[in-house]
Amino acid sequence: MNPIEISGDVRLVENAKITVSPGVQIQFTDSTKLTIEGEFETQNQKGKSVSILGDTTSGALGLIEVSGAESTVHLSGCRIDGVDVRVIDRGACSVEGCWVRNSSCAFLFNGARMAEVRRTVVSNSGCAIRSIDTTPIVEGCRFENIGGEAVSIEGQGVELPSPSAVRIRGPKRMVAGKTVTLWVEVLDSEGNLFWPLWEAVGSVSARQAVSGQSVPLTVQTLEFTNGLACLTTSISEIGDIDIEIEVNGISGSHRVESFALEENRTFAIGVLPPGDQIWRPSGGVYHLTGRIVVNPGTRLILEAGTLLMMDPGLEIEVYGDIEIRGTEDNPVYFFPTDSSRPWDQLRIRNTDKSFEINHAYFTGGSDGPKETGEEHTFDGPMLRFRAHDDVEKPKGGIIQGCLFS
């Protein structure tokens, strides 16, 4: 398919609508501008996305300008390279799942009636988001190699919430000396994620719950991006340990029961028996020392708070059924026996039923083969849902509230 070329300034008038199908490439030439006064949206599907590209020959930036009370732009799953997006004069713009690079300012909102940027990566740009007289929503984004301030919010009528609390979630029990990973969020007064907190550094400390004596940790500081942080540390002492995190004058704590591995351990290896196999916190630590296979007719159930310690290179292969029943306050926790030697993956293959993975923390895994694409190099995943063909594809499932670290 030949690219759609924007040569000279182009205007989409009020009441007009353009929908760009997956796989289409829009090419700007020189410093041209696409003005949108109507509705413009992009669509994406697996393996195909819309590409919006500036003039790579001259290095000139293209511009998408959204202007007017009737204008609306929805950018979904786009690759945007060398093009700025400017939303002004009551225009509206929502961006989700995009990858943006080589912009002077990726998104400028000035007097916009709606401005939302979610799950988007901006890199190699002068700034990521600048908002004037607009209250934007920015969630789940990542900014890399930004020349100036990543997010700038200014002007009259902009009302942003204030940070109010630090919420820490993670396992309530942990083996002494092993890595524990916690999910940390800064919340506003209404209990929502305080996303305007960018590149803030918090302090991390720990104390014995009973005596108040300080407990050494392997990590003392923590960097927050978009109000979120992930803490991975280890606790060498035994007992109830309170881990406290403070950032910008507010703090939160999380209690972990640290215990010796020898106190309570259940070994697991090989093919699991038919029927329901229920692993509970009362089993202590489930130490997986070799490949685990869940065959058809077997259902592996992991109750909230279950700990699974995974030996190096270990894989759990599911042909039957799996239910992970973690909760927000008491997740199921996968962690490595040796933090320097990862386990492999949970592979969900031709399942009997749809699977459910609720509030599970997968940490220290993904020792799979390296794969290199045009723009990315990545390890094999900790969680894989199929083999290389449709024969072993699972029937579907639910994943919610999970953390991969």
d(CA 296, CA 320): 4
Same domain? 134 vs 10: yes
The domain boundary residue, chosen from 98, 119, 154: 154
Alpha carbon of residue 182 to chain centroid = 14
What tokens does 377 get?
């190099």
CA 348 to chain centre: 21
Residues 8 and 148 in one domain: yes
The Cα–Cα gap between 44 and 65 comes to: 22
Answer yes or no: do 57 and 93 share one domain. Answer: yes
Looking at the structure, do residues 172 and 232 belong to the same domain, yes or no?
Answer: yes
Contact 56, 29 (CB under 8 A): no
Parent domain of 31: 4-154
Q: What is the DSSP letter of 390?
A: G
Tokens 């000396």 sit on residue: 177
Instruction: Give the integer Cα–Cα distance in Å for 384 and 311.
Output: 18
Q: Is there a single domain that holds both residue 366 and residue 277?
A: yes
CA distances from 25 to 38, 53, 180, 396 (A): 20, 8, 45, 31
DSSP label at 217? Answer: B
pLDDT at 392: 46
- What was the pLDDT predicted at 149? 83
CA distances from 243 to 4, 29, 222, 250 (A): 55, 55, 13, 14
Q: Which two tokens stand for residue 297?
A: 């007719």
Domains held by the chain: number? 3
pLDDT profile of the chain (405 residues), mean per 10: 84 93 91 93 85 83 93 94 95 94 95 93 92 88 86 75 91 94 92 83 96 94 90 94 96 95 85 94 91 91 95 89 93 93 84 76 69 41 55 64 88
What's residue 262's pLDDT?
78
Where does residue 294 rank: exposed (0-12), middle (13-18), buried (19+ CB within 10 A)?
Answer: buried
| Shared-domain flag, residues 69 and 127 | yes
**The two three-digit tokens of residue 200, written as one number:** 């803030």
Q: What is the pLDDT of residue 374?
A: 40
Neighbour tally for 141: CB within 10 Å: 22
For the domain that residue 173 is a member of, what is the CATH number? 2.60.40.10
Do both 67 and 176 map to the same domain?
A: no
Contact 402, 360 (CB under 8 A): yes
Residue 388 confidence (pLDDT):
41
Residues 194 and 144 in one domain: no
Task: Count Cβ atoms within 10 A of the Cβ of residue 390 and give its class: 0-12 exposed, 13-18 middle, 19 or more buried.
Answer: exposed
301 in the same domain as 221: no
Look up residue 19 and give its two tokens: 């929908």
What is the sign of the dihedral through the CA atoms of 202, 207, 212 and 214? Answer: negative
Residues 116, 224, single domain; the answer is: no
> Last residue of some domain: 259, 281, 300?
259
Same domain for 64 and 169? no
Indicate if 194 and 335 belong to the same structural domain. Answer: no
Return the H-helix or E-strand segment holding 397: strand 397-400
The strand pair at 221-224 and 200-208 is best described as antiparallel
- Single residue among 241, 259, 277 that ends a domain in this structure: 259
Decide: 402 and 382 in contact? Cβ < 8 Å.
no
